A and B are shown apart, each in its own frame.
Chain A
């Protein structure tokens, strides 16, 4: 028996409320939705990248705080060097503009990664990116 029901029945026994009032209160306790408290989500600490081939295996674990701190240190990269890095990346097929690197966007990306994982599999090879 719940604490509310016990209290209502005691009030009825003591004559503080009538039978009809007790019935109403008991109905209210039955229909009251139970609020589910969500379990606290464990905060992700590491970014994991695993690549599995038939013979080769790569496993990298990067602390997310290291990524955050690294982005802040991006301010020390000279602007002309940032442009050169972006050009070199685009030549390699990576379309990533380092000159417009926004720490807030990176923070959002990290938070987004905490809730999802990317997994690509095919021909005995698999790539997985996730946070743990």
Chain B
């Protein structure tokens, strides 16, 4: 069972300890993202521009692939520090 990320952590720290710490509850968006993934193949099948441009074989599984991609985001982390400034983004 692959669980999607439940929290997005964003931390932007500036000099002298000033900064922002955010814990965004992504789990509240799970139903919305699930619906988007459910309707993605329908949108791709109906929209002629998308159908022409994308690989036709991949259209039926596009929703599932998007959902898997979202689930795989768990563990993704970016940490950048420059002097005393710091930016940290992670999916937990």
B76 proximal to A (CB < 8 A) = yes
B55, B72, B79: the one contacting A69 at CB < 8 Å is B72
Q: What count of chain A residues pass the 8 Å CB interface test?
A: 23
Provide the bound-state CA to CA distance between A72 and B65, in Å. Answer: 8
A66 proximal to B (CB < 8 A) = yes
| Residue ranges of A at the interface with B (Cβ–Cβ < 8 Å) | 45-46, 55-63, 65-66, 68-70, 72-73, 75-76, 78-79, 81
B83 proximal to A (CB < 8 A) = yes
Q: Which of chain A's residues have a CB closer than 8 A to the CB of B72?
A: 63, 65-66, 68-69
Provide the bound-state CA to CA distance between A56 and B79, in Å. Answer: 11
Number of A-B contacts (CB under 8 A): 59
B79 touches A58 (CB 8 A): yes
A55, A66, A70, A79: the one contacting B82 at CB < 8 Å is A55
Q: For chain B, give the interface size range.
A: 20 to 34
How far, in Å, is A45 (CB) from chain B's closest CB? 7
How far, in Å, is B60 (CB) from chain A's closest CB? 12
10 A-B pairs besides A55-B82, A57-B81 with CB distance below 8 A are A46-B75, A56-B80, A58-B80, A61-B77, A63-B76, A65-B72, A69-B68, A69-B72, A73-B65, A75-B54
